[in-house]
Chain A
């Protein structure tokens, strides 16, 4: 099979850059919130030094907000680390449900910026496949990006994963604008087709049902 690795390589860099830019923006947001809440705590300290009464409950609430943001930053950085390590191995046994939940978390800010909510309903049992984790994440992102483009602001994209015979599938559903082929961008295009070929996967666009199904092989054990 003739796979155009140059297209996959270029797309891989773009994908990595897009996600890292989004992560860094979110970290900056967290730092800005910590900065203002810590600044307010400092203001209260100066007021207390001048003899003004400060409600301990307010100090407690500010400390709680700072702790909450530290936990948020911790989650963001953990996701960044997981994402960075997804290029470590080109063949690895992974839980597809876990990757789906991870990708939804990684894409959450980008979805929010478009005014779109992501709803993930992973199966209760793991779906083990052997694959290239980074390329799977990349094709999930491409499907998700397209799904968001056809869904539109104020809507929800639902993501589910299913175990199939000799493989698994990820379903992107509630895509309201999918049936309007004249106004939506074409899909899949070269990038998706090359990623799909490299993974031995397939994409089925079901306009009537308003869903995209990404089928992935189980891979070698």
Chain B
């Protein structure tokens, strides 16, 4: 799936940078942001197919960031990452506009499969 544009958002730089590099080496076009504020600024300049977002971020948490980003980018797919996925978190995430919730640490191949699934769904929908 070359050229899929993905934004990875997590406050831990040492997490997003190697993950981004691994995804780029597998053919995705990945950019990274280490705060909600930075992610919002980046979405004003660029259009992404999928945004992968950490649920627990300082100041503006993942759900709030998701709501803000979704409002401005209604066609973008969102995947939330969390250390402890629960049914309650899943429901809240889905209600806020996420389509997938993934436990982290996770397997990079699993994440890419989920991205592929979401983007393919979008193409069918169009």
Contacts and interface: CB of A to CB of B under 8 A. Distances in A.
Are A and B interaction partners? yes
Interface of A: 24-25, 28-29, 31-37, 39-40, 43, 62, 65, 68-69, 112-115, 153
B59 A29 contact: no
Contacts, number: 59
Contacts of A36: 14-15, 18-19, 22, 105, 108
Interface in B86-108: 104-106, 108
B83 A37 contact: no
- Place the interface of chain B in its size category: 10 to 19
A29 B15 contact: yes
B56 interface: yes
Nearest to A34: B105
Given A28-B83, A28-B84, A39-B108, A114 B59 contact: yes
B84 A153 contact: no
Interface string B10-32: 00101100110110010000000
Contacts of A65: 14
Given A43-B25, A115-B59, A32 B18 contact: no
27 contacts: A25-B56, A25-B83, A25-B84, A28-B83, A28-B104, A29-B12, A29-B15, A32-B12, A32-B15, A33-B12, A33-B14, A33-B15, A36-B14, A36-B19, A36-B22, A37-B18, A39-B18, A40-B18, A40-B21, A40-B22, A43-B22, A68-B14, A113-B57, A114-B58, A115-B58, A115-B59, A153-B59
Contact of B22 (A25, A28, A39, A153): A39
Given A40-B18, A65-B14, A32 B56 contact: no
Contacts of B21: 40
A33 B12 CA distance: 8
B56 A62 contact: no
Given A24-B84, A36-B15, A31 B105 contact: yes
A32 B84 contact: no
Contacts of A35: 104-106
A116 B108 CA distance: 32
The 3 A-B pairs at the shortest CB distance, nearest first, are namely A28-B83, A35-B105, A115-B59
B69 to A, nearest CB: 19
Given A32-B83, A36-B22, A36-B108, 18 more contacts: A24-B83, A25-B84, A28-B104, A28-B105, A29-B12, A33-B14, A35-B104, A36-B105, A39-B22, A39-B108, A40-B21, A62-B18, A68-B14, A113-B56, A113-B58, A113-B61, A114-B58, A114-B59
Contacts of B25: 43
Contacts of B15: 29, 32-33, 36
Contacts of A28: 83-84, 104-105
Nearest to B83: A28
B116 to A, nearest CB: 18
A153 B54 CA distance: 20
Contacts of B105: 28, 31-32, 34-36
